[in-house]
Structures are given as C-alpha cells and as structure tokens.
A and B are shown apart, each in its own frame.
Chain A
Amino acid sequence: MCNECGCDTISHAEMHRSGQSHHHTPERIAIERNVLEDNNREAMYNRGFCSASKWLLLNIVSSPGSGKTTVLENTIARLRDKTAMLVIEGDQQTDNDAQRIARTGTEAIQINTGNGCHLNAAMIRPLLEKSNLPTRSIILIENVGNLVCPALFDLGEAERIVVLSVTEGDDKPLKYPYIFANATACLINKTDLLPYVPCDINAMKDNILHINPNLRIFETSALLGTGMETWCDYLLSTLQNL
C-alpha cells in the first residue's frame, strides 16, 4: 500500500517521489448480502443432512444453570431404550457436561468455544457428517449457556428448545425476547422449587406467549422427573413424524 495516499499501487511512494501524480475514482460495489448468510447456508446443509437421515436435531438453549444438562440426563434415561441418541455439548471451557452425559452411556461430544458466546452451524456440520447413527435418532445440542447470542445463529435444528427455570424470574421472556421469538418449545424447569421462589408461573407463561404465541410449553422438574414423560412423548411423536 502507498504510504502517502493509502491506495494499492505498488511502488507508489516512488511514483510520488518521481513527480508522477494520480487521482482516485470512487466506486461503489453493491453487495446486498445478509451478514449471517454463510452461517445460514451451513445451517440449511445441516437441516437437509438430518432430514435425509431422519435425525431429529434439537438446539437446546438457556441461561447458565437452568438445568439443561439435567434435562438431557433425564431425557436420555427415558428414551435410551426407544431410540439412538447423540449429545453435542457447547461450553466455553471444560468437558464436565460431556462427562456427565457419557456416564449415562450415550455418546457425548464436547465443543469448547473458548471466548465464543455461541455455537455456529459450521461447528455442527463435521460432527453430523462423521456420525453413524441409525435413522430416526435424536441429536441433542446443548448450546452455550447464554440467553442472548445463540438466538441469532441457526444450527440447522428441527426444533429450538428454550429451558427457563422458575428461579430466573417470570419476566425473563420479556427481558430476553429474541431467544423465545425463534424457539419452538419451552421447558419451564425446576418447578419443584416454586414454593420457595417468588415466581408466578402463570405470569411466566403469559410472558412467553406474548413473545411467541406458537410456543409449546412444558412444565418440568428434570431433577425429580415431574413432567418429563410428557416432554419425552412429544420428542418421540416428533421423531416418528419426521
């Protein structure tokens, strides 16, 4: 680059020194491209890959500590005799969650995003391509615990599930609307703690449905197993209808 005017010409400084002059013509190049287009294309590939394989791909999102991993453990325990499963764990650091899932006997692959705040579709693609799951299997992606960033990044999932625990407060859907707007189902988890926390579960449901009137809501306590049968029945019927 020329140090005097910043343009691209090689040896331009020499041209300036030798008395040559020049002028620049501004040129506008229209692009009109969605910034997330590359991710969306990878997501479409993942969606097509799973659809052709008849795999149910679920993207499970929530804030940290809502009970996602416990939901997965309980779901696996109930469904492992009925379908093959794979879990993809997304966390900034550690493989603690993958170890927890591995103890259930189901394969778990850990993705550490380092400083990244979300998973993207390109991270999922090679794991799908390597997998040798049979048809009509369930792949559960536990996204990085974060109610903001994962909302924007399509992974190619058939369903996006938000896990919201009653300890987080009933106004969370209004505070973090995007994640609910793009979801297909919501698990209101830790319902066993309702007597001990100031959470109005009806107000929470109203707030969820204000953001997304089509969202399917399940009330669960993954720790005690309450409501998990209904949730697992829903997964099985969705799997059968693929």
Chain B
Amino acid sequence: MHETAIAYEIMRQVWLTCRNAGTSRATRIEIEIGKGSGIDGNLLRETLRLAYSRLLPGHNTEIDLIEIPVQAHCQDCGATFTPSTLFASCPACDNYRYEIDQGDELRLRAIWIEQSDYTE
C-alpha cells in the first residue's frame, strides 16, 4: 500500500527536476530499488505506469527500475553473503548478527528529458 506514497513522491521529485530544467516532461525515469528496501518493485512500477498514463497521458514516460540484490556481511565470522531470504542467518556460522551492505536502496537515480532544436 505504501508503494502509492512512494510513487507520489517520485512523481513530485521528477516534476521539480523538470521544472528546474525548463521542461514539463520526463521521457524516462531511472529508479534504483533494493530487494531489501521494503518496497515491492513490480507494484511500484505498475503504480507509476498507471499514475503517469492516467494523470499525464501525453508524456509517455518510460519507467526504468533497476533492482539491487541484497548483500550482507556477518558481524561474527566476517563472511560476505546474499541472504537466501530476508533476515536469514549467515550461511557460514548460522548467526543472525549481520549488516546489510547493499540492497536497501530506494533512490531516484536520474531522469531523461528532451531539448528541442528548431530548423527552418
């Protein structure tokens, strides 16, 4: 359900960036989303697609969602690993004390706009 609030915030930030760049339309937006971010990537993509197609139908904004896998390191044995499920134990020592190194991102990476050139 909170994907709606996240989609709204992304659209707001895209709009602000477009306005500062002197345009109203983003042709493409790039979003980084960690698999451990607490956001469902597919749901966010569909929410954004629906919102853009309903609210800004002429924009044809492409949604580029880049998923980042989770990587962690164990605080006890130092092993680096990808947890099989979220908050699974360390595969080397079975301990649960570990830190997430990547995979909790939720970042608007970039937007694409088009500048027009005119010829007679």
Contacts and interface: CB of A to CB of B under 8 A. Distances in A.
Interface in B80-120: 86-87, 89, 96-97, 106-120
B116 A22 contact: yes
Interface in A1-53: 1, 3, 6-9, 15, 20-36, 38-39
B107 A34 contact: yes
B25 A117 contact: no
B71 interface: no
A35 B107 contact: yes
Interface residues of B, number: 40
Contacts of B5: 116-118, 120, 149
The number of chain A residues touching the other chain, given as a range, is 35 or more
A144 to B, nearest CB: 11
Interface in B10-63: 10, 13, 17, 21-25, 27, 31, 38-39, 58-60
Given A20-B119, A118-B5, A152-B2, A29 B13 contact: no
A86 interface: no
Given A25-B114, A33-B108, 6 more contacts: A8-B25, A22-B119, A24-B114, A33-B107, A34-B106, A149-B1
Given A38-B9, A117-B1, A31 B111 contact: yes
B109 A211 contact: no
Contacts of B106: 34-36
A148 B1 contact: yes
A213 interface: yes
Interface string A50-69: 00000000000000000000
Contacts, number: 120
A209 interface: yes
Interface string A137-161: 0000000001011011100000000
Contact of B10 (A21, A23, A25, A35): A35
B117 A6 contact: no
Nearest to B22: A8
Interface in A192-218: 209-211, 213
B116 A181 contact: no
Contacts of A227: none
A10 to B, nearest CB: 11
Nearest to B29: A31
Interface of A: 1, 3, 6-9, 15, 20-36, 38-39, 116-118, 120, 146, 148-149, 151-153, 174, 177-178, 181, 209-211, 213
A7 B108 contact: no
B72 interface: no
B13 A33 contact: yes
Contacts of B39: 152
B116 A24 contact: yes
A2 to B, nearest CB: 9
B68 interface: no
B117 A177 contact: no
Contacts of A210: 87, 89, 96
Contacts of A151: 38
